[in-house]
Amino acid sequence: MAITDQFLIPLGQLAGLFVIILGVFWLIFAFYEASRRKSWRKLTKVEEWDFNITAFLKFLTALGFFAGLFCIISGVAGLILNIAPSIAYQTQTANERNYFTSIFLIVLGILTLMKPLNDLPIPSIIGFLVAGGVTIAIAFLIPDSAVALIENYIDPKIVLIVIFFIIFTIIGLTVKFYLTGVMFVSKILSFPPFALIVAGFCFVQGFALLIYGVSLV
């Protein structure tokens, strides 16, 4: 299939490179978080919900999201299609998948996707999107007869505003409740020493695959 030959196989063959790319992102995470907290030992942020997010963090978050996504795809492709993680590994060790590299890419890719949860007000964003979508749908779908009836008592715009804030509040609180565990994991991921250790391992594993054609595990 075209999607396999043109997309999945090349991504699977670049697994070693993706490991290094993850190392770069986690190294940036480590130094940036340490600079923002003004400490390498602080586990939590000074403010839980900080809307004053710098342009650098927004850009980094976007890149980290896509990097994590492509790493997951690369790991899955290598695992399912039995693809060696690098040309050096294919020639020096075996022309087949390396289970550790594939699983490592999938797991760390997911963690990289989770990293933005500690920097962005995810429940508020989801609540805003859902509330906005429902409000727009109601505005378009409500019959004209119902609008005329409502106008006899109150401005329909006020009704839509009230509906928006009710849905926004309910969805925001619900999402925040279910994301509590995920947010805790995200805080751990933002711990600078942890990110630095992960980055160091990524560099060692990635260069071992690309240059020496071996995996640490």
Same domain for 159 and 129, yes or no, is: yes
DSSP state of 82: T
Element (H, E) at 78: helix 55-81
Give 132's pLDDT tier (boundaries 50, 70, 90): confident
- CA separation, residue 40 to residues 36, 130, 194 (Å): 10, 37, 10
The reported pLDDT for the residue numbered 18 is 95
Kindly state the tokens that stand for 42. 């602080």
Same domain for 177 and 217, yes or no, is: no
Which pairs from 5-10 meet CB under 8 Å and 24+ separation? 8/73, 8/77, 8/81, 9/77, 9/81, 9/83
Same domain for 104 and 163, yes or no, is: no
Same domain for 91 and 164, yes or no, is: no
Helix ranges restricted to H, 115-191: 122-141, 144-151, 156-178, 180-189
Same domain for 60 and 108, yes or no, is: yes
- Residues above pLDDT 70, as percent of the chain: 72
Same domain for 141 and 108, yes or no, is: no
Same domain for 8 and 92, yes or no, is: yes
Place of tokens 């020639």: 91
Same domain for 33 and 94, yes or no, is: yes
The count of C-alpha atoms lying within 13 angstroms of the C-alpha of 124, restricted to the half-sphere facing its C-beta, is: 8
Same domain for 39 and 127, yes or no, is: no
Give 48's pLDDT tier (boundaries 50, 70, 90): very low
With 60 as the cut, is the pLDDT of residue 137 above it? yes
Determine the structural domain holding residue 109 and report its residue range.
Answer: 1-117+190-217
Structural domains of the chain, count: 2
Same domain for 11 and 47, yes or no, is: yes
Convert the pLDDT of each residue in 158-211 to its tens digit: 777 788 878 877 877 776 666 666 666 666 766 788 888 999 999 999 999 999
More confident site: 144 or 80? 80
Kindly state the tokens that stand for 90. 């294919």
For residues 217 and 201, what is the distance between their CA atoms, to the nearest angstrom? Answer: 12
Same domain for 133 and 217, yes or no, is: no
Please state the pTM of the whole predicted model. Answer: 0.68
Same domain for 50 and 113, yes or no, is: yes
